[in-house]
Amino acid sequence: MLVLGAAPAAAQNAGPDDSPLAPPRIEAPRAEDQQPRGAPADDAAPSSAFGPAPELVPVPNSLDELIPEGALADPEAWAAAGVNGGVNGAEAASQTAEGDAIAGVIPAADPAVDAVFAEFVLEEPVPLPADAQAEALAAIDAPVLASLPELAETRVDSTLVLALPAAPELFPEKGDFVARFKDLSTLRALGEGEESAPQVAARARADEELLGDILRTYGYYGGEVLRQLSGGRRDSARGVGDASAAQTAEAEAEAASREPSVRFDIIPGPRYSFGRIDLGALATLREPDASRLIAAFGINSGDPLYADRIIGQELNLRVALGESGYPFAQTGEPALLIDHAREQGDLTLDVQPKGKYLFGPVLSNDPRFLSSNHLGRIARFDAGDVFQQSLETDLRRAILATGLVSSVTLTPREIRAPQGDQPGQVAIDVELERAPVRTIAGAIGYGSEDGFKLEGRWEHRNLFPPEGALRLRGILGTRETLASIGVRRNNFRGRDQVLSADLYASDITTLAVDSRGFGLRTTFEKVSNLLFQKPLSFQVGGELLYTDERNRDVRTAPGVLLPRRAYLIGGLFGSVTLDASDDLLDPTKGYRATLFLAPEASRSQGAGSYYLRAQGDASAYRSFGEIVLAGRVRAATIQGAAIDSIAPSRRLYGGGGASVRGYGFQSVGPRDAVGNPTGGASLVEFAIEARIPTPLLDGAVEVVPFLDAGSVSRGSTPDFGEIRYGAGVGLRYKTSFGPIRIDVAAPLNPNRFDNPVVVYVSLGQAF
Residues in the chain: 767
Least confident span in 78-92, 219-233, 234-248, 557-571: 234-248
Query: How sure is the predictor about 672, in pLDDT bands with cuts at 50, 70 and 90?
Result: confident
Map out the domains of the chain with their CATH numbers: 151-233+257-267 (no CATH), 273-352 (3.10.20.310), 357-434 (3.10.20.310), 566-763 (2.40.160.50)
pLDDT for 240 beyond 60: no
pLDDT confidence of residue 270: 92
Cα of first residue to Cα of last residue in the chain, in angstroms, is: 115
CA 162 to chain centre: 23
Q: Which residue has the higher pLDDT, 196 or 337?
A: 337
pLDDT confidence of residue 755: 87
Report the share of the chain in percent with pLDDT over 70: 76
pLDDT confidence of residue 45: 42
pLDDT for 256 beyond 50: no
pLDDT confidence of residue 665: 87
Residues 211, 203: contact at Cβ < 8 Å? no
Widest pairwise Cα distance in the chain? 171
Helix (H/G/I), strand (E/B), else coil: 369 = coil
Would you call 550 exposed, middle or buried from its count of C-beta atoms within 10 A (0-12, 13-18, 19+)?
A: middle
Residue type at 250 in one-letter notation = E
Distance separating alpha carbons of residues 332 and 337, to the nearest angstrom = 15
Kindly state the average pLDDT of the residues 644-655: 92
Percent of the chain that is helix, strand, coil (3-state, to 5)? 25, 40, 40
Strand pairing category for 224-229 and 262-267: antiparallel
Residues 471, 487: contact at Cβ < 8 Å? yes
Distance separating alpha carbons of residues 175 and 181, to the nearest angstrom = 10
pLDDT confidence of residue 146: 53
pLDDT confidence of residue 99: 45
Residue 439 forms beta bridges with which residues?
Answer: 459
pLDDT for 51 beyond 60: no
What separation in angstroms does the CA of 423 have from each of 51, 291, 359, 605?
108, 18, 10, 71
Query: How sure is the predictor about 57, in pLDDT bands with cuts at 50, 70 and 90?
Result: low
Least confident span in 54-63, 71-80, 130-139, 683-692: 54-63
Least confident span in 323-327, 391-395, 541-545, 675-679: 675-679
pLDDT in tens, 486-530: 999 999 999 999 999 999 999 998 888 889 999 999 999 999 887
Q: Which residue has the higher pLDDT, 338 or 89?
A: 338
Residues 761, 742: contact at Cβ < 8 Å? yes
pLDDT in tens, 107-143: 555 666 666 666 767 777 777 787 777 666 655 544 4
Q: Where are the beta strands (DSSP E) in 307-404?
A: 330-331, 335-339, 344-348, 351-352, 357-364
Helix (H/G/I), strand (E/B), else coil: 331 = strand
- Residue 194 backbone dihedrals phi, psi, to 5 degrees: -65, -30
Kindly state the average pLDDT of the residues 424-434: 96
Residues 680, 668: contact at Cβ < 8 Å? no
Q: If you write DSSP's letter for every residue of 732-765 in order, what string do you get?
A: EE--TT--EEEEEEEESS--TTS-S-EEEEEES-
Distance separating alpha carbons of residues 236 and 251, to the nearest angstrom = 15
Kindly state the average pLDDT of the residues 292-306: 93
What residues have CB less than 8 Å from 653, skipping those under 6 apart?
512, 665, 666, 668, 669, 677, 679, 680, 683, 712
pLDDT confidence of residue 229: 74
Query: How sure is the predictor about 50, in pLDDT bands with cuts at 50, 70 and 90?
Result: very low
pLDDT for 553 beyond 70: no
pLDDT confidence of residue 262: 85
pLDDT confidence of residue 107: 54
Mean residue pLDDT across the chain: 82
The CB-based long-range contact list for 364-367 (8 Å cut-off, 24+ gap) reads 364/430, 364/432, 365/429, 365/430, 365/431, 365/432, 366/432, 366/434
pLDDT confidence of residue 753: 83
Query: How sure is the predictor about 448, in pLDDT bands with cuts at 50, 70 and 90?
Result: low
Helix (H/G/I), strand (E/B), else coil: 716 = coil
Query: How sure is the predictor about 449, in pLDDT bands with cuts at 50, 70 and 90?
Result: low
Residues 660, 744: contact at Cβ < 8 Å? no
Residue 617 forms beta bridges with which residues?
Answer: 594, 634
Query: How sure is the predictor about 56, in pLDDT bands with cuts at 50, 70 and 90?
Result: low
Q: Which residue has the higher pLDDT, 241 or 666?
A: 666
Least confident span in 53-57, 68-72, 233-237: 233-237
pLDDT for 105 beyond 80: no
Query: How sure is the predictor about 157, in pLDDT bands with cuts at 50, 70 and 90?
Result: confident
What separation in angstroms does the CA of 203 have from each of 187, 227, 349, 481?
6, 11, 35, 71
pLDDT for 481 beyond 90: yes
Least confident span in 172-186, 191-205, 750-764: 191-205
Helix (H/G/I), strand (E/B), else coil: 353 = coil
Query: How sure is the predictor about 730, in pLDDT bands with cuts at 50, 70 and 90?
Result: very high
Q: Which residue has the higher pLDDT, 271 or 195?
A: 271
Kindly state the average pLDDT of the residues 365-377: 94
Residues 46, 5: contact at Cβ < 8 Å? no
pLDDT for 482 beyond 90: yes
Q: If you write DSSP's letter for every residue of 475-529 in order, what string do you get?
A: EEESSEEEEEEEEEETTTTSTTEEEEEEEEEEEEE-SSEEEEEEEEEEEEEE---
Report the share of the chain in percent with pLDDT over 90: 52
Residues 546, 518: contact at Cβ < 8 Å? yes
What residues have CB less than 8 Å from 49, skipping those under 6 apart?
110
What separation in angstroms does the CA of 217 have from each of 172, 209, 213, 447?
14, 12, 6, 58
Query: How sure is the predictor about 82, in pLDDT bands with cuts at 50, 70 and 90?
Result: low
Q: If you write DSSP's letter for every residue of 666-682 in order, what string do you get?
A: T-BS-B-TTS-B--BSE
What residues have CB less than 8 Å from 32, skipping those under 6 apart?
42
